[in-house]
Amino acid sequence: MVPYEFYLAAYRGGSISAQDWPTAEREACATLARYKRLYTVTAPSDIVDAESMAVCAMAEALVFNAQAEAGQGAVSSASIGSVSTSYAGASGVDMSAKAQAKRVYNACALYLDIYRGCG
């Protein structure tokens, strides 16, 4: 388990709220556990807390995928009076299942070595 405080302080994340963190972190940990069952996953010696960093990166990718699927990209405009928020659409972003899985895998591969070959 990766605490939200690690996400904020060590990873220096900020795109996932404290309320959304438990769900995103759980999904990222489950995905990493699946990678470990299927592939050889090792942490490089030069990255401190590589597995926790990978979970944070994967959580952000998972949240991005969910927001883009829901039509919520980055906030494009916000109003205070009568509380209105507009999101930039995910135009130009490939949202196929394969592309979503690739984003999460690539986020993991930033911090962990994943050997997918045989032998």
Residue by residue, pLDDT tens for the chain (119 residues) are 899 999 999 999 999 999 999 999 999 999 999 999 999 999 999 999 999 999 999 999 999 998 887 775 555 555 566 665 555 555 567 788 899 999 999 999 999 999 987 65
Per the document, the length of the chain is 119
40: three-class secondary structure by DSSP: strand
Distance, in Å, from the CA atom of 35 to the CA atom of 95, rounded to the nearest integer, reads 21
Element (H, E) at 114: strand 113-115
- 0.85 surpassed by pTM: no
Distance, in Å, from the CA atom of 106 to the CA atom of 61, rounded to the nearest integer, reads 9
DSSP E strands, 1-119:
40-42, 75-79, 84-87, 113-115
